[in-house]
Amino acid sequence: MLIIGSHVSPYVRKVLVALAIKGLIHEVDPITPFFGNDEFSKLSPLRRIPVLIDGDLVLNDSTVICEYLDEAYPQPLLMPASPADRARARWMEEFADSRLGDLIIWRLFYRRIVAPRVYKLAPDEAEIAKVTDVELPAAMDWIEERAPAEGFLFGHLCIADISYACFFRNALLAGWTIDAARWPRTAAWIARVEAVPAFADTIRFETAIVSSPMAERREALIAAGAKLSEKTYGEAAPRASIMLG
């Protein structure tokens, strides 16, 4: 299997954790979507990551990919057993992918990390403050009411648990952390997910990426133990994101 996408992306990390838990051999082409070439556009028409290539099967979207993995390689299951709990898990994951994706990725991480480094755009600190001081805390209050007091959301670790932990890693990289005094259940729950070996192992790749200049990241990832593909769907110059208008 090949996964196209950077280890730092929460959507890519979700898939990589699922693959690791299931013990599935895979390689990674660690590009960010902004540097995808024309071949990447054919595989990912929205120019988003991750992309999974499994033989002649090409899939986009982390939720679609993880559901495929859970159905094609069911042990261990990463979705709850009952239909009702599976539906609840999908909704929890959707809240993370949509609301936290908007707040943490596009309006915090993108503005503070990606735009300045890739497009040389100064971050709008007033807009960032609106996210960190108002909108993200409101989302956190909703999450805190649903965070498990112990263990995981549905008894065993599932994709929904992994999704939330992935987004909060990006929040951390952008300078925002969960206030354990204000949201204690959420902070403890995310810490439990991050402690799962398959998740904890991703942090060394995250560190390799954020601590290295872009030209040296591939070598840094290899040194950290990442299994990278020889072929890449990346190119040297960034393109504007079609999802940002």
- Using an 8 Å Cβ cutoff, are 39 and 239 in contact? no
State the DSSP string of the chain.
-EEES-TTSHHHHHHHHHHHHHT---EEE---GGGB-HHHHHH-TT--S-EEEETTEEEESHHHHHHHHHHHS-SS--S-SSHHHHHHHHHHHHHIIIIIIIIIIIIIIIIIIIHHHHS-PPP-HHHHHHIIIIIHHHHHHHHHHHS-SSS-TBSB--HHHHHHHHHHHHHHHTT----TTTSHHHHHHHHHHHHSHHHHTHHHHHHHHHTS-GGGHHHHHHHTT--B-SS--B-SS----GGG-
Ordered structural domains, the chain, with CATH? 2-77+208-244 (3.40.30.10), 83-198 (1.20.1050.10)
- For residue 3, the cross-strand partners are 28, 52
Residues 54-97 have pLDDT tens digits of: 999 999 999 999 999 999 999 999 999 999 999 999 999 999 99
- Supply the mean pLDDT for the chain: 96
What pLDDT is stored for residue 20 in this prediction? 98
Checking if the pLDDT of 243 tops 90, the result is no
- The Cα 82–Cα 86 span in angstroms is 6
Q: What CA–CA distances, in Å, run from 178 to 16, 25, 130, 169?
A: 23, 33, 16, 10
Mean pLDDT value across residues 112-117:
92
- pLDDT, residue 118, reads 84
pLDDT number for residue 4: 98
CB 54 within 8 A of CB 39: no
Instruction: Determine the pLDDT at residue 242.
Output: 63
What pLDDT is recorded for position 23? 98
Residue 245 clears pLDDT 60, i.e. is over it:
no
In whole angstroms, give the CA distance from residue 102 to residue 179.
Answer: 20
Q: Is the pLDDT higher at 185 or at 120?
A: 185
The sign of the dihedral angle between the CA atoms of 119, 104, 174, 129 is positive
How does pLDDT run across 16-63, given as a tens digit for each residue?
A: 999 999 999 999 999 999 999 999 999 999 999 999 999 999 999 999
Mean pLDDT of 210-231: 95
* Cα Rg, the chain, nearest whole Å: 17
- State the maximum Cα–Cα separation within the chain, in Å, rounded to a whole number: 49
List, for residues 136-177, the tens digit of each pLDDT value: 999 999 999 999 999 999 999 999 999 999 999 999 999 999
Q: Percent of the chain scored above 90 by pLDDT?
A: 93
Nearest-angstrom CA–CA distance, 108 and 127: 9
Q: What confidence score (pLDDT) does residue 240 get? A: 76
Read off the pTM: 0.96
Is the pLDDT confidence value at 244 over 80?
no
| DSSP-assigned beta bridge partners for residue 52 | 3, 59
